[in-house]
Amino acid sequence: MRYQQVCLEAIGYTLPQEVVTTDALERQMDPVYGRLRLPRGRLELMTGIASRRFFPPGTLPSHVSIQSGQLALQASGVERRHIGALIHGSVCRDHLEPATACHVHHGLDLPSACMIHDVSNACLGILTGILQVANMIELGQIRAGMVVGTECGRELVENTICRLNKDRRLSRQDIKSYIASLTIGSGSVAVLLCDKKLSQTHNRLLGASVLARTNHRQLCQSDGLQSFMSTDSEQLLHHGVAAGAENFAAFLDEAGWTRRQVDKTICHQVGVAHRRLLMEALDIDPQIDYPTLETLGNTGAVALPLTLALGAEAGHLQPSDHVALLGIGSGINCQMLALEWQRHQVSGRVGIGPVAEDKCATNNGDPLAVAGATA
C-alpha cells in the first residue's frame, strides 16, 4: 500500500489518573506467591513494566473516546464537517451492539453522512482503522477521518489476580499463561487523518505493509479485555518477532526506504524482551525507538498510537524524520506504517472530565499530564 494524499494531522489522548505499580499487584498475589514459593519482584523483572494506569471501575470506553476525539479535533483545527469516517478500534467496547463508534459519533457531534463502525483486530485495531481511513482519503471518498479507541484493562487484571489466588490447582507452569494479562494497562487515543490539502502539519503517510500468520492464532485468546486472557507468551514472542522480521522487508519496499533511512521507530508496547529481540531481528538501534511500556504497560490497540503521541510531545520526533510504526498483534498479524514526520499537533490530558474544563491538566506535576496543541 502506498499513499500520496494522506497526512496524519493530529492526535488526542487521555491517560487515567490512577497509577498502579507492579509491586502493588504482586502484593495482592501474596496467596498464590506464598503457595508456589514465588519471589516478589519477578513480574517486573520479566516484563520491564514498573506500573500501569487504570480508569475508574465501570468506565465506558466511549466516554473516554469522546474526550480523546475532542482533543484531536481541537489540536487539528479540522472542521467537523470534513470528518467523513469515524472508526472505533480498541479491544474494549461499550457492548456488542450498537457499535461503540455510534456513541462517539453522537458525543462528537459529527456529520450524519460520516461513515461509522467498529474494528476488531486485537492490538492492531487502531492501526487497521488508520489504514481504512487512509484508503478512503487516498481514493477521494472523504477529506478527513478519525480513528479512536479506549482500553479499560482494570477488570482483566483484577479478575486474573482473583483466579490465581483462588484456584489452588494452578501450578507454576499453569500460571505462565496468565502473565501477559498482568501487563495490561489502560489508555485512550484518537488519530485524525486528512488529505494533504487540508493539512497544516504535512506529516505524510507514505505506505504500509501487512502480514498474516494465522497458523499461530491460538497463541493468545481472550473473550474480552474485561474477562480472561490465555497467552503462550514464549511462543507468541518467538513467532511475533519472526513475523515482524519477515514483514519488514516488504515495509521498506512500500516506504521506498533502506534500513538505514529509518530515523525513528514506534512499536506496540509488550515487554522488554519483545522490544529487545525485535530491534535485534530488524537490525535497528534501540536508541531510535521510544518506549512507554515501563510506565504504561500494554495498553492494547491504543499502545502504539499513544506512544507516538507521547514521543512527539517529548521531542523524540524531529522534522523530516522517517518514522516506522511497527505493529505486531495476536493472530498473528503484523502491520507496519511509514510516516514522513514534520511537526506535531498533540493534545492530551490525565483523568476523565469535560475537555473544556481545563485544556492544560497538570495532575500535580505528572510529566505525562501536559496538554495542549503544539506546533
What are 154-207's pLDDT values in tens digits?
A: 999 999 999 999 999 999 998 888 888 999 999 999 999 999 999 999 999 999
Distance CA 40, CA 32 (A): 11
Quote the distance between the C-alpha of residue 199 and its chain's center: 23
pLDDT at 190: 98
Average pLDDT (104-115) is 97
pLDDT at 222: 74
Q: Is the pLDDT of residue 357 over 70?
A: no
Report the 3 state secondary structure along 250-297. Answer: HHHHHHCCCHHHCCEEEECCCCHHHHHHHHHHHCCCHHHECCCHHHHC
Average pLDDT (350-361) is 54
CATH class of 204-346: alpha beta
Q: Is the pLDDT of residue 360 over 60?
A: no
Average pLDDT (343-371) is 56
Distance CA 231, CA 234 (A): 9
| Number of Cβ within a 10 Å radius of residue 328 | 29
- What are the pLDDT digits (tens) for 56-93? 999 999 999 999 999 999 999 999 999 999 999 999 99
- What are the pLDDT digits (tens) for 18-60? 999 999 999 999 999 999 999 999 999 999 999 999 999 999 9
Catalytic residue list: 97, 123
Nearest to 303 by CA among 217, 159, 192, 191: 191
Q: Is the pLDDT of residue 359 over 50?
A: no
- What are the pLDDT digits (tens) for 273-318? 999 999 999 999 999 999 999 999 999 999 999 999 999 999 999 9
Distance CA 349, CA 190 (A): 12
Q: Is the pLDDT of residue 364 over 80?
A: no
DSSP 302-349: GHHHHHHHHHHHTT-S-TT-EEEEEEEETTTEEEEEEEE-----EEEE
Give the single-character DSSP code of 298: B
Distance CA 338, CA 326 (A): 9
- Locate the domains of the chain by residue range: 204-346
Of the listed ranges 76-80, 347-351, 365-369, the least confidently predicted one is: 365-369
Q: Is the pLDDT of residue 103 over 80?
A: yes
Distance CA 261, CA 252 (A): 9
Average pLDDT (265-278) is 92
- What are the pLDDT digits (tens) for 133-143? 999 999 999 99
pLDDT at 225: 46
